[in-house]
Amino acid sequence: VTRLVVGPFNRVEGDLEVTLDIADGVVQAAYANSPLFRGFEQILQGKDPLDALVFVPRVCGICSVSQSCAAAAALADANGVVLPPNGQLATALILANENLADHLSHFYLFFMPDFAREAYCGRPWFEHALRRFEAMQGEAAREVLPARAAFLELMGFLAGKWPHTLAIQPGGSSRPVTASEKIRVYALLRQFRGFLESVLFGDSLEAVAALDSEAALRAWRDARPVQAGDFRFFLHVAEDLALERLGRATDVFLSYGNYALPEGKLFGAGVWDGAVHPLQPDAIAEDLSHAWMAGEPAVQRPQEGMTLPDMDKPGAYSWCKAPRWNGRVCETGALARQVVHGHPLVRALVAEQGGNVCNRVIARLLELALVVPEMEKWVQALRIGEPFCSHAPMPPQARGVGLVESARGALGHWLDVHGGRIRNYQIVAPTTWNFSPRDRDGVPGALEQALVGAPVGDGEETPLAVQHIVRSFDPCMVCTVH
């Protein structure tokens, strides 16, 4: 067995180190290390509860709004404020704006550039991949960045700026929208739809959203030329490289459900392992056994969780704690969200092949097709002149939980207010789930499992299969440890 330490692992958010044990040309065991600790949970102690709205978005520059939404939800849970419909719609629009922009960044800037690597130069699709996706040089980035920036102008109207807005409040949004702004935001969304339909999909969003089986996806792919839309091109690359056989993890999928609207959440919550189970937030606990964290007991529910760094702890190898649901390792993200919610295509793909590199990417792009039309409806549903924000005082003693979905999956905040100040604040982020270390039973986290069996070619310093698998999770390491 040879050991390979891979880092700095880039085109992920934040710093990541992966240690691989390799024998017979495949990965035998993997260890994920989040090497950066900042201590947000300690920084927050003793602060005014509303100050959380300043600090937590700054946990992460790419999941900034998701962090705001989780904090606002935890604060609202603590003080019982009820959002007006405009407040729910505005919050959903801001959150969807971030999540979809992140999906786009992931596909074009983080994930696809690996197919433009020289190692693939013999493949029939290579020249197109190089021209289109080469990191910082490809033509796609030069189309995508302006389209993404234009899409994020929604933030300029609804949130002041991105990242790090303070517009998202426990009672809704601090930013009422005027009649003309409503029209301009709608126009932005239509412009973004146009970009997706011409560049990414080569088809209408509705046609992509309606795909309901592997056969339908294959037929859709083959109905037009290979290069008609970047999604179609990806499907061809994925088939050639058998990406559906790479990166299978636990096939237990967790989602908190997302986009809280007057009529309920757009995507439902739960855990899927072949069937959907209710979420039961109390079933979530974090295992500290392999994290550089002191504290007893070694398995803690977040509401009683502690963050006490201890870098000399024997057996530990990451700053990341190991969250478990009823003791089980879960995968979270767009694939989890859609399999839990029950999108027919994603259910069919997972039933056939489980979670893997290809299906994670498909689920992300599918969400672009699913959510943009919803955003168009949400903007239209804003009622000009009616309230965007409700108000309620924070009681001196209170507890609250905020559960939302960021682009990369389930994000939870647990808040404990005592004497009018934050006594404890615990954050469990999506990549804390996906890139967790082993637990006290020695069970590896989702990525660590997904890497086992990955092929390693002769002389590969940083195996490409490993890179595809890691990036398929769209990891956010700054959120992971915070």
Site for other proteins in 88-127 (CB under 8 A): 105, 109-110, 113-114, 116-117
* Residue tagged 């999941």 (tokens): 63
- Among 255, 426, 467, 472, the residue binding other proteins under the rule CB under 8 A is 467
Nearer to other proteins, 38 or 377 (CB): 38
- Among 26, 61, 295, 440, the residue binding other proteins under the rule CB under 8 A is 61
Asked if 14 interacts with other proteins (CB under 8 A), we say yes
Taking alpha carbons only, the member of 324, 330, 319, 323 closest to residue 478 is 319
- Among 21, 26, 29, 37, the residue binding other proteins under the rule CB under 8 A is 37
- Among 17, 21, 212, 374, the residue binding other proteins under the rule CB under 8 A is 17
Binding to other proteins (CB under 8 A) within 382-421 occurs at 384-385, 387-389, 391
**What does the per-residue mask of binding to other proteins show for 240-269, with x meaning CB under 8 A?**
------------------------------
Asked if 165 interacts with other proteins (CB under 8 A), we say yes
Encoded tokens for 162: 């991105």
With a CB cutoff of 8 Å and minimum separation 6, the contacts of 112 are: 129, 132, 133, 140, 230, 234
Asked if 313 interacts with other proteins (CB under 8 A), we say no
Work out how close the CB of 11 gets to other proteins at its nearest, in angstroms, rounded to a whole number: 6
φ, ψ of residue 431 in degrees (nearest 5): -75, -15
Neighbours of 308 (CB within 10 A): 11
Asked if 15 interacts with other proteins (CB under 8 A), we say yes
Asked if 191 interacts with other proteins (CB under 8 A), we say no
Mutual orientation of helices 85-105 and 139-151 as an angle, nearest 10°? 170
Asked if 381 interacts with other proteins (CB under 8 A), we say no
Neighbour-count burial for 243-254, b at 16+ CB within 10 Å, e otherwise? bbebbbbbbbbb
Work out how close the CB of 39 gets to other proteins at its nearest, in angstroms, rounded to a whole number: 3
- Among 26, 29, 47, 212, the residue binding other proteins under the rule CB under 8 A is 47
Q: If you ran DSSP here, which 8-state letter would residue 303 be given?
A: G
Nearer to other proteins, 19 or 204 (CB): 19
Dihedral of alpha carbons 374, 379, 380, 385, sign:
positive
With a CB cutoff of 8 Å and minimum separation 6, the contacts of 314 are: none
φ, ψ of residue 397 in degrees (nearest 5): -120, 125
Encoded tokens for 38: 């900042």
Asked if 152 interacts with other proteins (CB under 8 A), we say yes
Nearer to other proteins, 252 or 368 (CB): 368
Binding to other proteins (CB under 8 A) within 330-349 occurs at none
Q: If you ran DSSP here, which 8-state letter would residue 45 be given?
A: T
With a CB cutoff of 8 Å and minimum separation 6, the contacts of 411 are: 63, 66, 67, 70, 256, 403, 404, 405, 427, 428, 429, 430, 479
* Amino acid symbol at 437: P
- Among 36, 207, 306, 443, the residue binding other proteins under the rule CB under 8 A is 36
Work out how close the CB of 176 gets to other proteins at its nearest, in angstroms, rounded to a whole number: 4
Instruction: Report the Cα 200 to chain-centroid distance in Å.
Output: 20
Asked if 290 interacts with other proteins (CB under 8 A), we say no
**What does the per-residue mask of binding to other proteins show for 292-311, with x meaning CB under 8 A?**
-----------------x-x
